[in-house]
Amino acid sequence: MAVTSIWSIKGWIGKVINYAENPDKTKEQTSQELISESETGQLQGLNDVITYAVNAEKTRLRQSKSMEMEVVGESEELMEQYVSGLNCAPTTAREEMIAVKKRFGKEDGIVAFHGYQSFAPGECNPAMAHEIGKKLAEELWGSQYQVLIATHLDKANHLHNHFVVNSVSFIDGKRYHRTNQDYRDMRMVSDRLCKEYQLSVVRQPEQGKGKHYAEWQAEQDGKPSYHSMVKADVDEAIRKARTEKQFFFYLREKGYSFKFGKDITIRPEGRERGLKLKRNFGENYSLEAIRVRTLEENELPAEKKFPVQRHYRIRVSGNFKQTRKIGGLRGLYLHYCYLLGILPKNRPSISAKQVHVLFREDLLKLNTVSKETKLLCHYHIDTAEQLFSLKDHLQKQMEQCAEERKHLRYKIRADRPEEEIQEMKEQIKVLTEKIGTLRKEAALCDGIAARSKVIEEKFKMVREEKEQKEEQRHEHIRRSR
């Protein structure tokens, strides 16, 4: 089994090579070793990487009297070195790569790419690992780029290859751009070569971030890892939640904070860095996928044991017949929320499968439906006339606030004291926020006008379907007599 990765290197080209050759890389370094403090930011230059890749203490071994292979230093007599060059000589790799860059005038920017291929402990010997590394480099970069291949032997039973790929082609001077497809190709070719040599491979992971070997090994041994525990919490929140809002509520209850961008980043309490869900766990953890999964994977809670009911006698006055039921648009939306399973608040969760097929499409829009319901209840809107009147009122308020904000902006341009200008800026900020709120409420009015007709049509279809089933049932009873 081999785990692969590749990343770009910036800095001085010579430093990457020294990084690969330095015999002290296996030792703990101080600020005076290998580099000065001022050069720390350029450690991953080309000279550094090549020095590290062909590190004498990491790439040579000897055979002892007991026939055991062990890592040794340069002073040993019987040694075998596992360093090869592709389109360049190992001893002059740095000079040859620099010469190509100078020939095409591309000495700045990314100077090289550092690749990595790690094998499972005890699966292969150094010669086999190096041979696989050379074949991998030949297939991926051999036609256009100079590559240094080195097999490291510095860890017990842990063989791994390093690749230093020149960022500029010696054929046409084109730069190498590592894309996600290049990374997938590297993993695919590595897996194929491992199979040819009868080595194990990591099963094809979901699209997203590749797994570290330690994480993969922990999964194989059934041991928890940081990623697996976060993933388990996310999966549990998805199973419990009925809506996107509930999903993030359950995560917050577990101590997670989150932020939104192209991906959802969640951070457990006590961690400095967060995890991107889609990047680390795959397509099933994008925002859209989570919305769908909250509907499909929703689990019913365990049956609650209610306390013994106590009966009380109370006296009431008045006439129950005079109590007014909520109807119109408010009643329509409240009943719809009940059918969707979000009202009442203390109601046990129901599965998406229990919701009528005509209503399921709105389960993905529960946040909007909830906002529209709150608007209707807040302003006590029951009829279409009241709704349109509210929208006109909101638009007039927006125009009034916009006019006030306009006058304040004109006043700021005049020569006034700094305190007065700051006060007017605060007033402008308040007005802007108010305009934004009014605009959203006006948009909700438009949404209610359109959705209410659709809801009524759905109710009609469900009613007709129910009546038809009742007729069929009665017809069946009549025929059975």
184 and 228 in a single domain? The answer is: no
The strands making up 60-63's β-sheet, listed across from edge to edge, are: 69-71, 60-63, 80-81
391 and 269 in a single domain? The answer is: no
Reduce the DSSP state of residue 252 to 3 states and report it: helix
Give the model confidence (pLDDT) of 414-455 as tens digits.
888 889 999 999 999 999 999 999 999 999 999 999 999 989
134's CB contacts (< 8 A; 6+ apart) are: 84, 86, 149
Task: Please check the confidence at residue 36 and state whether its pLDDT lies above 60.
Answer: no
Domain assignment of residue 115, yes or no: yes
22 and 104 in a single domain? The answer is: yes
Query: Sorting pLDDT into bands at 50, 70 and 90, what band is 269?
Result: low
Domain assignment of residue 314, yes or no: no
The number of folded domains in the chain is 3
Domain assignment of residue 245, yes or no: yes
123 and 245 in a single domain? The answer is: no
137 and 8 in a single domain? The answer is: yes
Per-residue pLDDT at 210: 56
Apex CA 325: angle with CA 442 and CA 385, to 5°? 30
For the chain, give the percent of residues with pLDDT over 70.
70
Per-residue pLDDT at 58: 58
Dihedral angle at the C-alpha atoms of 377, 381, 387, 389, nearest 10 degrees? -110
Give the model confidence (pLDDT) of 325-354 as tens digits.
788 899 999 988 888 877 887 777 666 556
Per-residue pLDDT at 294: 85
Domain that holds residue 157: 3-28+80-197
List, in sequence order, every residue forming a beta bridge with 7; answer none if it has no partner. 114
90 and 151 in a single domain? The answer is: yes
Q: Please indicate whether residue 15 or residue 179 has the higher confidence score (pLDDT).
A: 179
Per-residue pLDDT at 201: 79
16 and 160 in a single domain? The answer is: yes
How many helices, marked H, and strands, marked E, lie in the chain?
A: 15, 11
105 and 252 in a single domain? The answer is: no
H helix runs in 254-327, sequence order: 277-281, 287-296
Q: Which letter does DSSP use for residue 123 in this model?
A: S
- Among the three residues 162, 197, 232, which one is the final residue of a domain in this structure? 197
CA distance 404 to 36: 62
Task: Please check the confidence at residue 19 and state whether its pLDDT lies above 70.
Answer: no
Q: Pick the range with the lowest mean pLDDT from 61-75, 137-151, 406-420, 451-465.
A: 61-75
Radius of gyration of the chain (CA): 34
CA distance 166 to 141: 10
Q: What is the CATH number of the domain that holds 98?
A: 3.30.930.30
Comparing CA positions, the residue from 135, 334, 383, 47 lying closest to residue 35 is 47
139 and 14 in a single domain? The answer is: yes
Q: Which letter does DSSP use for residue 159 in this model?
A: E
Cβ pair 242, 342 in contact under 8 A: yes
List, in sequence order, every residue forming a beta bridge with 265; answer none if it has no partner. 259, 276
Apex CA 304: angle with CA 303 and CA 306, to 5°? 140
Give the model confidence (pLDDT) of 222-245 as tens digits.
555 677 778 888 888 888 888 888
Domain assignment of residue 270, yes or no: yes
Q: Pick the range with the lowest mean pLDDT from 24-33, 248-257, 351-360, 410-419.
A: 24-33
Task: Please check the confidence at residue 27 and state whether its pLDDT lies above 70.
Answer: no
190 and 227 in a single domain? The answer is: no
For the record, the structure tokens of 222 come out as 């059934």
- Once rounded to an integer, what is the mean pLDDT over residues 298-308? 58
List, in sequence order, every residue forming a beta bridge with 165; answer none if it has no partner. 113, 147
Half-sphere exposure of 288 (CA within 13 A, CB side): 2
- Among the three residues 245, 280, 297, which one is the final residue of a domain in this structure? 297
**Residues found in the chain:** 481
Q: Which letter does DSSP use for residue 75 in this model?
A: T
Domain assignment of residue 182, yes or no: yes
Domain assignment of residue 140, yes or no: yes
423 and 274 in a single domain? The answer is: no
For the record, the structure tokens of 70 come out as 């062990």
Domain assignment of residue 449, yes or no: yes
11 and 106 in a single domain? The answer is: yes
DSSP per-residue string spanning 56-71: HHHHEEEE-TTS-EEE
Q: Please indicate whether residue 12 or residue 275 has the higher confidence score (pLDDT).
A: 275
Domain assignment of residue 337, yes or no: no
Per-residue pLDDT at 468: 82
For the record, the structure tokens of 134 come out as 């050379």
Neighbours of 305 (CB within 10 A): 5
Cβ pair 148, 164 in contact under 8 A: yes
CA distance 447 to 191: 53
Highest-confidence segment of 109-113, 164-168, 210-214, 232-236: 164-168
List, in sequence order, every residue forming a beta bridge with 60; answer none if it has no partner. 81
3-state secondary structure 43-108: CCCHHHHHHHHCCHHHHEEEECCCCCEEECCCCCCCCEECEEEECCCHHHHHHHHHHHHHHHCCCC
Give the model confidence (pLDDT) of 139-165 as tens digits.
999 999 999 998 887 555 678 888 999
Q: What are phi and psi of 174, to 5 degrees?
A: -75, 145
Question: How far from each other are the two terminal CA atoms of the chain, in whole angstroms?
Answer: 72
- Among the three residues 297, 323, 340, which one is the final residue of a domain in this structure? 297
For the record, the structure tokens of 341 come out as 């399973």
